[in-house]
Amino acid sequence: MSHDHHSTANRRRLGIALAIVVVFLIVEVVGAWLTGSLALLGDAGHMFSDALGLVVALIATAVAARPATDRQTYGFRRAEVFGALINGVILAIVAIVVAIEGVRRLIAPEAVHVLAGPMLAVAVAGLAANIAAFLVLRGGRHTSINMRGAYLEVLGDMIGSIAAIVAAGVILLTGFEQADALASLVIAALIVPRAVMLLRDVVHVLSESTPPGMSVAEIREHLLGASGVVDVHDVHVWAITSGSPVFSAHVVVERAVFETGRTGVMLDELGACLSDHFDVAHSTFQLEPAEHADHEEPQHP
């Protein structure tokens, strides 16, 4: 399936999910204000980060679809990565704020009164909204780092809503109002690993690391199996954005490849090898005779 098709489908998914999240964000903010629930406020804060993250993702996905230019020679697809970076930072900030307030309420519980009945109703409505957004986004999570970020946010928010529901139930049954503050700490704890995971993926792409699941040694072995290939060096594999690996290498070939004019055929074979076996659509090869390779700059693996 083409990247353009994925982008169009992802923008549609993001738009639908954003509409759902914004509506229930308002519901949770009003509910948190009326009930005094920190868990609802934390879930609302998380949902706000979802909404802002979805807006960023939607903008980044639209920008990423723009064609390449002489200045942006790979196009604008890395905009998705910067969108995911903003998303991860938002999540980290929400986690810190909710955790600080949760601890404060545990230290001074007498200052807070929670209306558990309305809190339960709002939390259930929030869970329903998160489930709906989760189902909308699920189909695009493997096609883009940004879609993965949006999907993970909604997934974590769904778990946060469950924590709020449990806290409201505990308060209704036992009167233990600190359950609300404890639930808010659970929500903060749920946010942190997802923020870290998203930021780790961003760093992986921006540092030009080899994409997960790809082995330079395995790629080199495949290329060395092509007829006429003597050696492969200066191999680089990186990603423009998640799911878009790029490859370049210097390939030392037999003199006969040049003498018989087989360089075009060789390039086709090498490109097909990368595309078929490793799903690399963009590959660049520098074909070299052995005597050229001998006096190159110090070679990389």
Percent residues over pLDDT 90 in the chain:
12
pLDDT of 2 reads 44
Q: Looking at the structure, tell me whether residues 131 and 171 fall in a common domain.
A: yes
Helix (H, G, I), strand (E, B) or coil at 182: helix
| Most distant CA atoms of the chain, gap in Å | 88
Rounded to two decimals, what is the model's pTM? Answer: 0.71
Task: Please say whether the beta carbons of 53 and 153 come within 8 A.
Answer: yes
Is pLDDT above 90 for 44? no
Name the pLDDT band for 163 (thresholds 50, 70, 90). Answer: very high
Q: Cα Rg for the chain, rounded, in angstroms?
A: 26
| 75 or 240, higher pLDDT | 240
Burial of residue 261 (CB within 10 Å: 0-12, 13-18, 19+) is: exposed
pLDDT of 183 reads 92
Helix (H, G, I), strand (E, B) or coil at 117: helix
Percent residues over pLDDT 70 in the chain:
82
Task: Please say whether the beta carbons of 18 and 58 come within 8 A.
Answer: yes
| 135 or 149, higher pLDDT | 135
Is pLDDT above 90 for 284? no
Nearest by Cα to 133 from 21, 232, 40, 218: 21
Q: Looking at the structure, tell me whether residues 181 and 114 fall in a common domain.
A: yes
Q: Looking at the structure, tell me whether residues 164 and 242 fall in a common domain.
A: no
Domain enclosing residue 248, as ranges: 216-294
Q: Looking at the structure, tell me whether residues 105 and 198 fall in a common domain.
A: yes
The rounded distance, in Å, linking the Cα atoms of 29 and 83 is 25
Enter the tokens of residue 85: 């970076």
Q: Looking at the structure, tell me whether residues 157 and 268 fall in a common domain.
A: no
Q: Looking at the structure, tell me whether residues 132 and 190 fall in a common domain.
A: yes
Residue 299 lies in a domain: no
Helix (H, G, I), strand (E, B) or coil at 175: coil
- Total residues found in the chain within this entry: 301
Average pLDDT over residues 171-199: 88
Q: Looking at the structure, tell me whether residues 158 and 234 fall in a common domain.
A: no
Residue 300 lies in a domain: no
pLDDT of 111 reads 66
Residue 233 lies in a domain: yes
| 35 or 135, higher pLDDT | 35
The sheet that has 282-288: what strands, in order across it? 229-239, 245-253, 282-288
Count up the domains in the chain and report the number.
2
Average predicted confidence (pLDDT) for the chain: 80
Q: Looking at the structure, tell me whether residues 201 and 230 fall in a common domain.
A: no
The rounded distance, in Å, linking the Cα atoms of 215 and 203 is 19
pLDDT digits (tens, 9 = 90+) for 75-128: 666 777 787 788 788 888 888 988 998 998 888 877 678 899 999 999 999 899
